[in-house]
Each structure stands twice: as structure tokens, then as C-alpha cells.
Structure 1
Amino acid sequence: MSVSMEPATRAAPADFDALRRQDPELADVLSAELERQSLGLQLIAAENFTSPAVLAALGSPLANKYAEGYPGARHHGGCEVVDVAERLAIERAKALFGAEHANVQPHSGSSAVLAAYAALLRPGDTVLAMGLPHGGHLTHGSPANFSGRWFTFIGYGVDAETGLIDYEQLRALARTHRPKALVCGSISYPRHIDYAAFRELADEIGAYLIADAAHPIGLVAGGAAPSPVPYADVVCATTHKVLRGPRGGLLLCRAGLAERIDRAVFPFTQGGAQMHTIAAKAVAFGEAATPAYTTYAHQVVANARVLADGLAAEGLTITTGGTDTHMIVADPAALASDARSARGLLGGAGLVVDVCALPHGDARGLRLGTAAVTTQGMREAEMARIAVLVSAALRADGDQGDGVRKMRDEVRALARRFPPYPPLYSAS
């Protein structure tokens, strides 16, 4: 069974003929972006390729409908049809994750976290979350973010030697500061989180447990990662990473918190629901409930492990010594002057990656993910080759001649073997 969707079903994601006739300048922009996605290797851990069905829902007439409120209780008339779409998304999300309640309206992962805090906390409350240098998100207490301005955040971290969460430090901080909420989740932690340990600690100190599962939620859907749902009071997630849905957020919670969560989303933090996006979420949840998606999710992890091993063999230092998920964090110091320079070198070769903080110091590393290339159908052999290409690109610093062009050509050749979508149209 193929780990990606069959080529016949991955038809052209949209018909741009009308756009080209109306606005050829913007049509050229879309054409150029499709070419960029198709001729490079998208190794950003937070990105993926949606199905044509998801894109069809995003471009549907549901985009025209104003639908403040919830199914059966809208502030606008004419919502009978969009109510069906939202109920489908809610029921599919609940079934997929075994949740008692789901809110599918958050516009983003940050919007979901904001709503979770609004439902459970008050300004000034103390929150214990992963420190930003150790992999915490902006919503985990950054002074530039609402979270750092409205709440008092205490940061826990990872062990200096292993790179794994220091659960002893976590317990000590929780018992000292007695936070109102514990937040577990990270943008750059490649290992599974011990949700049971967090739940035990939250119960001990009388705190809420909020799981920010934006990255692993797609693996949870495919049975390739442990679920936070049985342990957390609220789970915040996104739908556009491994889950392979539209850009947006998701909240899962216990039935007893349903009304507080819903009110925190609307009317407290958001206005009208984006019904085209909610319909696209429903499509993605339906796709994630299939055996093919389960196979895909496990292949994502298998590919990440091979890529991590390959990068280590090429001389990069892999944080935590490997990965349990779709994500790899690598220190390129042995091959490049710094991570931002490394990202530029890789981008020049068509290898698109992120930069993230490394714990215990000011250094930064590279964050790579295998969700998108796995959707394209790549497997272990391609991951091993990508590791070599990454190394070669980093070693080519200062070489802008035939070596770099040859590398870029090989990346394009690999991408062409596994196109995310068939060609839509030419730029002419």
C-alpha cells in the first residue's frame, strides 16, 4: 500500500483558468509557488501537502458565509448548510481522537492556545511551560506575545547531556511555584512526552494540564504517537502539519470544560467562523481516519529516524540522539558557520528547512521534518540520500559553481520523481 495518495487521486489542486483570465499577475505568483514547492524538497517540520479534496473545500462557496456562533445558535441567518459542515468536523474530530468535546473554529494553533488560557486562567496567573530556549512556543511565555504579557510564566527545560525533558526539574518547579496550569508541548522537541507524568504532577498541585500538541497531533491521529487526550484537560492543536489539513487550529477537551472552551473561542477571542476552512478540516479528519493514513503516519516516523541517522553519520549533531516523531533538530556547527548560514546554503540547493533555538546556550540549530516528503511517497532510501545532499550542501560553503548546480539538479530530479501535484499550468 502506498504511503501517499495515489497519483490518480492527487489531481490538480485547483482550476486556475478563471484566475488567470481575471488576474494573470497573481496567477503567475501562484504558478511560481507551485513550482517552488514541486522542484525542491520541503523539509520544514510544520508544513505538508494537503489533498485536492481539502483544497477544494478551501476554495468553495462556504467562504462566502458569515457564521458567528455555533451550529444551531448562529448570529446570522442562512446557516443551515454550514451547520452541517461544522457538525461533521466536530464529530469526526471527536471520533478520530477519542475526545469528549471538540471546537474546530480556532484560526490557528496560537488562537487555540489563547482560547485555552482564556477559558482556564486569569491575567496574572502563574503557568509552567517549556522555556523558549528549550523549545517552548511563543505562546508559552514570550514577552513579545500575549502570553508573556498577561501571565507569569516559569520555564522548565531539558537535561544538558541527554536533551530530554528534565522531569525532576519540572516537579521541583511545580512544587515551588504552584502554577495554575502546566503546559506540555514544544516546537522542537523530537521525543514523545510523558503525558501521564504531567497529569500526575498536575493532580498533585491542583493545576490544569494543557497539552500543546500542534506538532504530534497528526501522528496521534495515525496511531504513531501517544495521545494527550486521556490526560490533558485541554488539548490545543493545528490541522496543517502532519495531519495534512488546512491551516487552522483545533481544541479538544473534557465535556465539563466544553462550554468554557466554546465561549473562550467565540465570542471572547474570535468572531465569525471560517466555514470553508472548517469544511476542509472535516475533509482532513475523514482522510486521517483511514488505514492509508495510519500507514502514512508510521512511515513519517520511520523516515525521520532514517534521516536523523543519516545526518548524524554525515557529521551533524542530532539533539536527543534521534527522534520519535516527524521532527529532527540538528546542530550544523561541524559543517557550517551557523544555522542561518546553513539554512541559506540548503535553500540554494532546494532543501527548505527551519532554524530553531538549541538549549543551553545561544546557539541555533536546524529543524527538519519528514511529513511533506512522505506525503509525496518518499521512503527510507530517499531519506538516506537526502541526508547526503544536506551534508554536501553544507560542505559547499563558498562554492557557487558546478558543484552547487549539480546538487540543485539532483534535488530537482528527486522532487520530480515524487511530485506533490501534477502540473497545473505553465507560466506562459
Structure 2
Amino acid sequence: MADIKKVILAYSGGLDTSIIIPWLKENYNNCEVVAVSADVGQESELEGLEEKAIKTGASKLYIEDLKEEFVNDYVFPTIKAGAVYENKYLLGTSFARPIIGKRLVEIAKAEGADAICHGCTGKGNDQVRFELAIKAFAPTMPIIAPWRTWDLKSRDDEIEYAEAHNIPLKITRETNYSKDKNLWHLSHEGLDLEDPANEPMYNKEGFLEMGVSPEQAPDKPTYVTIHFEKGIPTAVDGVEMDGVTLIQTLNKIGGENGVGLADIVENRLVGMKSRGVYETPGGTILYHAHEVLETICLDKETQHYKQQVALKFADIVYNGQWYTPLREALSAFVDSTQETCTGDVKLKLYKGNIINAGVTSPYTLYSEEFASFGEDDVYNQADSAGFINLFGLPIKVKAMLDEGRVK
């Protein structure tokens, strides 16, 4: 501890990191604490952070605008892969951690820091994600994780510590959900959600922040058309947008229509199950639209194999292994599959539902002439008999041999 004179702290201004600043100074010989807040689209949560960080003992606060890089280099590659963790989780917290960890290292090197600190618990996934990212860019940098060493055992203990040190908090014991917000999503964990038998309080004032419940959504549908270029969304309703603006636009449209709510019991990397409620309105629309576009742009074998890749890609992102040769290799495969994924997808949003309303692409593999139930001159239906005979030959041979063995 005596060798650590300056620490870079991943700082959100939430409960954990608010009390870590004075804790570091108490336990590391009044070391200098440089706070770093990564702006990945959490908006109002960044307000007043600098004043709060300085008042609680930090020497300075960096607020790093990473939104554009976050979307282009982490979000869009994951959408293109179709990666969804355990069929529901759209990886909102998972792919935000690698970019933050990378920036922490860059600032630590510029500041000549002796260590990097994070406020992740010893039960969660984020400790792994942060630390793997740090190891990728500063393999020998010491990492301080107070939750693994301090005497505080719960969020109530943390609140008591904050009160004793006159640290202002935006939460109370009654609203003490553990939340993570960025441009892509908002997660809720803790309190009543820790019991999977409890229904989330979607209609309770203040619970949902990015939209409304399906019951509160309008009684008429909203149509939205998304344009993709090589798997990347570039326009909404004919208006070209950068990635950040596009996601913000779809968050508003989806949120207003009750789209993107997910109540999940997931398997954490550390081995336990956890329950969370996620709001991902724009992301849910984008995943749906991209999947629809792939149905007409990818051939069967590529589409089916890519579904297998998507499962592994989701595990990699969830487990914090973004900066690995395998993730890079899988992304190269995915990019190859997206060369023809250009087109428009029209969707109808209604009370939490996303309903297909049309898809077109200049690279479509769908032929109405071949698929038609009407009369055509391109397909001889009699050809299918020979195909079935060959395709079913193993089944036929086995059945014949089994009959012989029975006798």
C-alpha cells in the first residue's frame, strides 16, 4: 500500500464509487485519487459529478466522451453478430466495460498512476470485464477492488458509511436498486427484484426511465423503417443519422411504445444466478430489424452457421473477453457475412410488440417467382421425388435392415 501514491478510479458517482474515494485515502496513506467517468450515454447521471468527486476527495475528474466509439466499435459489431446472451440479454453493460477499461489504462499511463481501482462487487461480472480489459493494455498494472477487501458487506453498510462521511447520495434505502445506465440500456437489480417470484413494478412511478410499460403505451401502432448498410443501421424513416443519434431516436420511439423490457434470471460468469430487469428500447428494435434483414440476405448455410457463432460471440462479450484473438476472428467472419446485408426493414410497434411490416434489399435471395404457389415455369415439382428418395435413403435403409433383424 505504501508504494501506491496515485490511483485512477472508475467513477460513476453512484453508491459504490462515491464512498471509494474517501476509503482509498483512508487505507492507502492519503493517496491521490484521480476519478474517471466514461460518458457512454448515461446523460443526467453525469450532472454535478465533478463537484461531488472533488468534495469527496478526488484531485480531479476526467469526463471522457466515448459514445461514438462505443457505438461504432462495440455496439454495432455485436448487433451484426446477432449476439444475445441466454436468448434475452442484449449485453448493454457487458460491451460498455471493455471501452471504459481501455480508457482507464490510457489515463493511468498519462497520469503516471500506480494503480487502477473499480467499484465492482466480488459477486458480479463487471470485475472480470474491467480487469480483463486492464490486463489487455497494462498487464502489470495493480488493480484495487475494495469490495474484495473492505469490511462493508452490503449496500446498507455502504449507505451508513456515506452518511458517516457526509457523502451526498441520490438514493435511499427504499430506492436502493443497483442500476447501470448507458446509451444502449438501463439495468435494475436488487431490492424486490432479488426474488424471482416478484413481478417487476413497471407501472410504479420512477421505476422505468427509458420508456413506459406496454399497458401505458398508445392504443395505436407506430411504424418505423430502418435502413442498413452492410449490417450497420444508418437511417430511420429515410433520415440518415450517426450511430449515437440513431440509437437515441429509436430509444425514444421504442420507449414510448413499451418496447424493450426484459425480466431475466441469468447465469453470471462467477457461477451464481441473478435476476435483473432491463430496458433496451432502441436496441431491441435494432436486433429485430437486423435479424429480419438477414432472413432475405443470407443463404441458409451461412445463416444457420452464423447462429452458432452468435452464441459464442455472446458468451465472449458477456465474459469480458472482447480483447481476444477469438473475438477478433469471429468479428472478421461476421463482417464477411454482412457484405450483402443492405436494405430497409419496416416494423410496426404496438404495446411492447414488434411486428414485421415489410423488408427489401437489393441483395435479396428471395424469389417470388420460385416461391409462388401460383403457376410458374421455373420449378419442376416432379424433380422433388428424386431429391426425397436420396435425402431419405439412410432412413429407408435403416428401416429395411431393422425389419430384417426382427424376423
Output the TM-score relative to the length of structure 1: 0.29
Say which structure, 1 or 2, has more relative contact order (CA 8 Å, 6+ apart): 1
More strand by share: 2
Output the TM-score relative to the length of structure 2: 0.30
